Structure 1
Amino acid sequence: MKERSRVEQFERIRRDHRDEELSIRALAEKHRVHRRTVRAALDQAIPPARKPPERVAPVLGPHVALIRSWLTADLTAPRKQRHTARRVWQRLLEEEGVVVAESSVRGLVAQLRVEVGGDRAQVMVPQTHPAAEEAEVDFGEFTAVIAGVVMKVFMFCLRLSHSGKAIHVAYANQTQESFLDGHVRAFERLGGVPTGMIRYDNLKPAVIRVALGRDRFEHPRFIALRSHYGYDSFFCAPGIEGAHEKGGVEGEIGRFRRRHLTPVPHVASLAALNLALAAADARDDARRIGARAETVGAAAARELPLLNPLPEVFDVSLSLSCRVDAKARVCVRQSYYSVPARFAGRRLEVRLGATGVRVLDAGRLVAEHTRSLHKGSEDLVLDHYLEVLTRKPGAMAGATALVAARATGAFTGAHQRFWDAARRQHGDGPGTRILVGVLLLHRTLPAAAIAAGIEAALILGSFDADLVAVEARSALLATGDTSRPVPVPLPVTASANATTPRPAPSLAAYDHLLTEAIA
């Protein structure tokens, strides 16, 4: 505002000089300014810049050299043990006896840091990324409430450098399985693989040790993933100095967390959280990065067809050898998972994935679980203990696997009513054995048919596993489904105890013989 008034004042002086031909003295008297101002106005229309006053620092002046020496020594000191402005002020008070305001010291320290090079700005070279050639990968953290439990969740992010299209996947941990699985999922959702390189920082799942310069000792499984998909890797400089080398994904993680994960998300499971992240990625296709003319989705539509085609899916699971304990469990990364009881005491192969755990015996799948989100947890399947419960029916009521089956809805109210009625009629032990026989039917018959068989047994007041089986097959035939029953374990989890499925009994062959005999 002051600058505008000076320009207007110069204009009035120049107009009066031009129109009225007043002298410099007359113009100075008329406009109440010094004759130097009049001469300056007549010389040029734009007022000259005001000269900043030269202020003297009588208190800090004698100590400038000392403060400069402290800041110069900081250039070779550990980063966390360098002088702050407050520490400089404290030393001046304690060691030099200088009584000065902290704000004055802060201003001087900021100026001297630039002079000694401590705050020298790092110049970035603008980059152009050709379509489909480069991408960046990193992990970020956020908090979510999963099934009522507040958890720290790790977010894998792969971002295409050209279009800015990004894929986000949430994991309960930052293990190598999650790191590799994030690549597989991201490539599948993009529909291809970058033709050039992917930039990384020095994540432990990929790098065993940082060598001199850009050399890295990489993990063999990461090398196998890279070789399978046919791209190159580029590792950024260690520490904060290399963060700008993959600044796109660094900024993307923060932006996505603020845009889609604030407030803290509440979900029922990790799978539901990943569905929400995928939906957020789809919504981001409509956004624009900076002043770009096209949206992220439009740029990705040009870029995605140029990616290399996808090979077959890479198996990211880690192979482990685990011994089954006396409770028919294997311990994997401090979490317990049940297997069929007949494998107790044996050593089985475990394939540990990012979200699942598969247990195999000589290459045959015997159990499958969702990977636990918490250490020390137990994921037990009731079907795995049925043979033991036939011999030990008293253990049924307090079985942890029964509690889990009730929680998942696999053990229904109809099962409980049948069990209660069977125990009343036959006693605790025999009644429980009858229930176990009914539960074994889940290996060969659909759950809906067994539910119908249980209801029929409750109506008849006769509790026998064979009766439930007959009524279940009758209900299955009544629906018109005469195909071979599909084995459905009690929980929706693979079981090694599954017997060979059998078709419903039929007397059609005997009816044919009887017809021929009569003829």
Structure 2
Amino acid sequence: MVSRAEVFAAIRRDLRDGLSNRAIQRRHGVNYRTVREAAGSAWPAQRKQYPARGSKLDPFKPVIDAILIADLDAPRKQRHTLVRIYRRLIDEHHMSDVSYPVVGRYVRERRPRILQESGKAPSKVFIAQTHRPGEEAEVDFGDITIRLRGELVTCYLFCFRMSFSGKAIHRASLSAGQEAFFEGHLHALQSLGGVPTGKVRYDNLRSAVAQVLGFTRARVEAERWTVFRSHLGLEPFYCQPGIEGAHEKGGVEGQIGWFRRNHLVPVPEVDSIAQLNALIDAWDAADDGRRIGSRARTIGEMFAAEQPLLAPLPSEPFETGRWFSVRVDRYSQISVRTNKYSVPVRYIGRQVRVLLHASELVVYDERTEIARHERLLAKCGTRLELDHYLEGLLRKPGALPGATALEQARATGKFTPIHESWWAAARKAHGDSHGTRALIEVLLLQRHLPHDLLVDALAAALQSGALTADAVALEARKISESQPVPETVTDLDAQIDPIPSLTARRLAHLPADRRPLPSVAHYDQLLRLPRAQKGIS
């Protein structure tokens, strides 16, 4: 907004340039009095202060104050409510033409002031704090919005901030549960290179606090959190519940807002949470060069003095994920936290183990990993991988066109228009059943071929009219062989064909054949004999 002094300066400049009074009025949107005043003095005159307009409530304000003062000594359950004050003003003091909201605003303003003036309520004062290096830190979660694979989603930002230096480490996740809480701590402490030796301030997150005991700072902690903080050597300090406790960790509260405004505007577009966290790590490193407020040193310089004072990290690892034991249903799916995820069809009916992380889950059959999925954001969702159903679809090719896994593969871009075109051509050439089965055999090839290479091979096979899985594999081999060998590969033995033939693959597992090559030398003596001796007439 332009100040009045700046307007005066612009008017005086235009007057010196010879502009007329009317032209200056149009240019600056002022009247002739303002132009005349600016011509006379560079300093604008002080605006006249008009007295505040009176209110119809003014005659009754002393009465309200007297009621609130009398309430100071009244029993707690027999003090005036706003309704009672309003009724007494009407009945006993004949108040009229004053609305209930007007009285309510005045009572809400005066009641805390009267309490403070009487000494029965503390004044809201903030005391400046000095933090020793390497001792204190603050932790909090904040929500952020990103564009994940083109879809606008809300995820969560964990922040661990050192109080002395202001060094902050951030970590994004698809949930704000205990898994994300633990993973954020481990990532932050590993990035900092140590553990604060003093208090770490927390609000009453469910990941850490199971129950708040009355109006004290005593808490019943979640059992896994107690074990986790004991493992790392963290000493928690829990802030007051509600908004009153926000100022007790104001550094991290402001840090999340600052990070959101400066690094997440405009909304970032990423393909995965891992990609977003790589960007966040780079932003955290770049923030070491900034200064907070009027500090003389940067965040990085202050943390360099703080880092040697941190306690060392424990040498033993801690599993931050949560284990579940579930059974695979007849749809080849498992249910974890109200969401369903697919596993290969050969595990139907078996008991499997699931390790749930903040942004993904891993499925194990004993010690073998059999599936890995990105964690779903909402509840009662389903995430299916088409590759998990291919063996079953070979026996039931008619189930592929309406399969939910196929629809999700289309939505994520794994089943491309090239797949669709090749499938349509194969069904036209071989019939629906055999053409669909040929597509499934092609999809099985992607377990050994890169996705982009398989799409290129499908396009080449479609162009040449080759509508079998063997033809697609051959096209993939041709494309792979035509690609130039990277310059970094110098050892001929290291130049391994990425798509070996079936014969070469089988021979590679046989021992070396040290027998001499076969010879036909003993047949050469027949060439020197006459035709009659050979028995040829």
Q: TM-score, normalised by structure 2?
A: 0.71
CA contact (8 A) 1:206 1:218 kept: yes
Task: Give per-residue Cα distances to partners, 1:93-130, cap 9 Å, x unaligned.
Answer: 34533538758955754642322446521555543322
Q: Which runs of 5+ in 2 are unaligned?
A: 1-57, 486-493, 522-537
* Correspondence 1:249 to 2:252: yes
- Does the C-alpha gap of structure 1 residues 193 and 431 become closer, same or farther in structure 2, counting only changes over 3 Å? same
Q: Distance in 2 between matches of 1:218 and 1:109?
A: 37
Deviation at 1:386, TM superposition (A): 0.5
Quote the residue 1:493 is aligned against: none
CA contact (8 A) 1:133 1:194 kept: yes
The equivalent residue for 2:19 is none
1:142 to partner: Cα distance = 4.5
Change (3 A) 1:147 1:484: closer
Measured at CA, do residues 279 and 70 of structure 1 come closer, stay the same or move farther in structure 2, by a change above 3 Å? farther
- Residue-by-residue CA offset, 1:134-163 (whole Å, 9 max, x unaligned): 211112334555556554443221110110
Asked if 1:290 corresponds to 2:293, the answer is yes
Give the corresponding residue for 1:192: 194
Q: How does 1:55-66 map to 2 (within 5 A)?
A: 59-61=60-62, 64-66=65-67
Q: Which moved more, 1:275-284 or 1:290-299?
A: 275-284
Aligned to 2:531: none
Task: Give the corresponding residue for 1:424.
Answer: 428
Aligned: 1:410 with 2:378: no
The alpha-carbon distance between structure 1 residues 273 and 121, as it changes in their structure 2 partners (threshold 3 A), is farther
Q: How many angstroms does 1:367 deviate by?
A: 0.2
Q: Say how many residue pairs are matched.
A: 445
Which AA in structure 2 matches 1:90? Y
- What is the rounded CA distance, in whole Å, between the counterparts of 2:95 and 2:436 in structure 1? 87
**By how many angstroms is 1:389 displaced?**
0.8
Match of 1:90 among 86, 89, 97: 86
Structure 1's unaligned 5+ residue stretches are: 1-56, 488-500
Aligned pairs for 1:20-31 (under 5 A) are none
1:291 partner SS: coil
- Cα 1:396–1:73 change in 2 (3 A) is farther
**Identity value in percent:** 44
Q: CA RMSD in A?
A: 3.8
Instruction: Indicate conservation of the 8 Å contact 1:322/1:331, yes or no.
Output: yes
Q: Does 1:170 align with 2:166?
A: no
CA distance in 1, matches of 2:515, 2:457: 31
C-alpha distance in 1, partners of 2:454/2:110?
Answer: 83
CA distance in 2, matches of 1:401, 1:422: 21
Q: Which residue of 2 aligns with 1:67?
A: 68
* Residues 177 and 316 in structure 1, CA contact (< 8 A), matched pair in contact too: yes
Q: Residues 110, 458 of structure 1: CA spacing in aligned structure 2 closer, same or farther, 3 A cutoff?
A: closer
Cα pair 1:484 1:502 within 8 Å, conserved: no
- Within the candidate set 294, 317, 332, 1:328 is matched to 332
Q: Identify the range of structure 1 (353-362 vs 278-287) with the bigger mean alpha-carbon deviation.
A: 278-287
Pairing 1:103-502 to 2, within 5 Å after superposition: 105=106, 109=111, 111-117=113-119, 119-144=121-146, 146-147=148-149, 149=151, 151-211=153-213, 213-261=216-264, 270-271=273-274, 273-310=276-313, 311=315, 314-447=318-451, 450-451=454-455, 453-455=457-459, 457-458=461-462, 460-473=464-477, 475-476=479-480, 483=496, 485=498
Residues in 1 aligned to 2:466 and 2:269: alpha-carbon distance in whole angstroms: 46
The answer to whether the 8 Å contact 1:144/1:266 transfers is yes
Report the alpha carbon displacement of residue 88 of structure 1 after superposing the two structures with TM: 7.8
Separation of aligned partners in 1, 2:157 and 2:520: 75
Amino acid at match of 2:288: D
Distance 1:276 1:361 in 2: 34
399 and 474 in structure 1: CA distance in 2 versus 1, 3 angstrom threshold: same
| Cα deviations by residue, 1:438-473 (Å, 9 ceiling, x for unpaired) | 221222344455456545544553433234334544
Q: 1:291 and 1:485, CA in 2 relative to 1: closer, same or farther beyond 3 A? A: same
Cα distance in 2 for partners of 1:505, 1:215 equals 68
- Report how far residue 312 of structure 1 moved: 5.8
Instruction: Give the aligned residue type for 1:130.
Output: R
Which 10-residue stretch deviates more, 457-466 or 175-184? 457-466
